[in-house]
Every structure is written in C-alpha cells, then in structure tokens.
Structure 1
Amino acid sequence: MITLVGMDSESIKARKGRVMLVGVCLFLLGALAVSMPFMASLAVETLVGWLMVSAGVVQAVSGYRERRQGRSGAGDFLWALLAAMTGIILLAKPLSGVVTLTMILSVYFVLEGVFKVFTALKLRGLVGWGWLLVSGVLSLFLAGLIWHNLFAAAWGVGLLVGINLLFTGATLFALGLRLGKESS
C-alpha cells in the first residue's frame, strides 16, 4: 500500500483507473502465490539472492571507480563482498534463506501495516478508507502469524506474500470502485 503514501484524496481520485488496474494485477499475483506457496517462497528467496548479488556487483564497480579517482574504495569493496556473499548464500541454500526471509518479511509486514493504518486514518474522509484500515490490520496480523511459527517458512513466505497481495489488490480495486461511485 506504499503506493498511496504521500497522495491526497484528489490525487487518488485522478488515478482511480490505475489504482484498480494495480489492484487486479496484485490480486492475480496473490492468487498464483497462494495456489503454489512453496514455489512462491523459493521464487521470492531466489529473487532476493540475485538482487543481493547484483547489489554487490554495483557496489564493487563503485569501489573501483573510487579507487581510479584516487579515493579509498575499501568501504565499497567490503559492502560489495558482503552483499555478493549474502546473495550467493541465499542462492546456494534456498531453504535456509527462506527462514531468514521469513523473519525479514515479518518486519516488513509490521511496517506495512503501520503505514496502511496511518494512511487510512489520514484518508478517513475518503469513501472506502475502511478497506485500507482493514488491510493494515491484516498486515499486522500476518506479521504475528509469521513469528508464531518461523520454521513453517518453506511454504509460509509464499503463502503470506500471496495473502498480502490478494488483500492489497482487493483493497485497491475496492477503493477504485468506491471512487468511481463517489464521482457519479
């Protein structure tokens, strides 16, 4: 729901078609993840692994450029090594990586839930703001489920990401529908 942060009611109304389209896309991705939670968990973990390797490469290039300009690139190279090694470990040990990502995902859901609740309260006068509030509370609930059993992570990451995508997509679509009725 980060997509609505910083937008006022008029900005959201002007983008109601886009809000609904994003909602449908997120809902479909969520349905796919829920239908294959283990595969979704591995996909998320693999994506994060490759992102970390890529971040390491970018950081190494930055360090190389710093050294060519006569500055110490030691910090860049250390961060590059850390990022690349983290990515390689995630790619080499996907199930262990899924457990780690489960913990990180829990923190993400807490932050997302807090942002959704605050955004909903900010948009309280807008028709459909309650859907955003429910979605925020659901994100906080999902964070609690994760911490309840971290070792169910092999399927849990994909399932929880899927549920979150389903509800976020449904929330955006419902908000867009309500905005359409409000304009009429």
Structure 2
Amino acid sequence: MADVFEGTPTSQLRSKWVWFVGLGVLLLVCGLIALGNLMLATVVSVYYVGMLMLFGGIIYLVHAFQVRGWDDVLFWALSGLLYVLAGIAAFVNPILTSAALTLFLSLALLIAGVFRTWVGRRMKPAKGWAWIVISGVITALAGFVIVLGWPVNSLWILGLFLAADLIVQGSTMIAFGLGIRIETVEKGDPAF
C-alpha cells in the first residue's frame, strides 16, 4: 500500500487509527444532530459563513491601508466594506441570508450540472462518458428542485447539506481508521 501521507511513516499512521475512528464518530454524531434539526443547522451554517465574511472583510480593510496608490486603497476598502456588511447581515438576519445563500447554491448547481452534462457529451467517444452526463443531469436537477422550492426550502437546505457532509465525513473517517486497524492486524504490526 502506498503511504497515504507523504513523509509520514506508515507505522506512525497506523498507530493513530483510534483517533481517526474517534473523529469519525464525533462527526457522525454531529451530522445526526444537524439532521435532527435542519433549521438550527441552517442558522449555524449561516453564522459560520457570516463569521468568515466578517473576518475576511476586516483582513481586506487592513490590507487596503497597506497598498500604495489611492485607486488600490479604494478598491480594497470597498471590497472589505462589502464583506463586513455581508457578514453583519448574516448575524442580523440569518433567515434572509440563508435564502440568498440557498438561491446562490441552486444557481451554482444548475450551472455546474449543465456544464458537466455538456462536457460529458463532448467526451462521447470515450468510455465512461455517460457517467459524466448522468452526474451533470443529477446536479442540474438538484439545482432545479432547490429553485422550485425557494425561498421556503431555504430554512432547511443549507442544514441538510451540512448534515450530509458531516455524516459522509464521519463515515469516511471511521472506515479509514478501521481500514488502518485491519491492515495493521493483518501485517502483525505491534504499533497499534
């Protein structure tokens, strides 16, 4: 088996299998909690995005006064101000922000799905091109379904995406940790 982490001795990675499983269980539990209350998970994800935008806006504003030339300062300061205002809006009205983010998400899925379908059709002579087309159609349909339910579904869509991501990541970490454990036992490596 190739070393998963370049520069990390395989035996050192194998000795940490329990940490991967523990992290996986924690992520899985968080995903199930988020799945249990999708509206709360949506608000939490909006606050997270708002915090990142607020932090990014502050960085932009600090950067604005580090550059030379009035034109550059104006561009960076306006960019930073817009980020800060968007971040504040996420905290002041998370429901409205979730509606905007859900609309952007649906449009991004629609565009990505149509583009992926187009790319898949262009690859038609190659083996497996249909899988790319199917993937594109499913992505575009997901975007279309979200647009059809907008703005009502904006109360739970982002929470559903967060819950699904946490569940998939948790399951992946558990499988990876147990895979390392099984490989360690099969090789008879005492480092676990």
Moved over 6 A (4+): 140-143
Which residue pairs with 1:62 in the alignment?
A: 63
Which residue pairs with 1:33 in the alignment?
A: 34
Q: 1:57·1:80 contact (CA, 8 Å) conserved in 2?
A: yes
Deviation at 1:177, TM superposition (A): 0.7
Which residue pairs with 1:148 in the alignment?
A: 145
Alpha-carbon separation, structure 2, partners of 1:99 and 1:177: 39
Q: Unpaired segments of 5 or more residues in structure 2?
A: 113-136, 186-192
Alpha-carbon separation, structure 2, partners of 1:86 and 1:27: 31
Alpha-carbon separation, structure 2, partners of 1:147 and 1:163: 19
Corresponding pairs, count? 150
Residues 38 and 169 of structure 1: is their aligned pair in 2 closer, same or farther, counting only changes over 3 Å? same
Which residue pairs with 2:4 in the alignment?
A: 11
Deviation at 1:183, TM superposition (A): 2.1
Aligned AA for 1:60? L
Deviations 1:50-80 (A, max 9, x none): 221221112111112335x999422211211
Aligned AA for 2:88? I
- What root-mean-square deviation, in Å, do the aligned CA atoms of Structure 1 and Structure 2 show? 3.5
Which residue pairs with 2:92 in the alignment?
A: 92
Residues 146 and 29 of structure 1: is their aligned pair in 2 closer, same or farther, counting only changes over 3 Å? farther
* Residue 112 of structure 2 is aligned to residue 76 of structure 1: no
Aligned AA for 1:22? L
Which residue pairs with 1:52 in the alignment?
A: 53
Aligned AA for 1:41? T
More divergent stretch after superposition (38-47 vs 57-66): 57-66
Residues 166 and 71 of structure 1: is their aligned pair in 2 closer, same or farther, counting only changes over 3 Å? same
Q: Unpaired segments of 5 or more residues in structure 1?
A: 1-7, 111-139
Alpha-carbon separation, structure 1, partners of 2:24 and 2:77: 40
Which residue pairs with 1:5 in the alignment?
A: none
Alpha-carbon separation, structure 1, partners of 2:140 and 2:92: 27
Alpha-carbon separation, structure 2, partners of 1:161 and 1:16: 25
Rg larger for:
2
Residues 105 and 143 of structure 1: is their aligned pair in 2 closer, same or farther, counting only changes over 3 Å? farther
Which residue pairs with 2:173 in the alignment?
A: 172
What's the TM-score once normalised by structure 1's chain length?
0.65
Task: Indicate the percent of aligned positions where both proteins have the same amino acid.
Answer: 23
* Residue 43 of structure 2 is aligned to residue 42 of structure 1: yes
Q: Which has the higher helix share?
A: 1
Aligned AA for 1:182? E
Residues 142 and 92 of structure 1: is their aligned pair in 2 closer, same or farther, counting only changes over 3 Å? farther
What's the TM-score once normalised by structure 2's chain length?
0.63
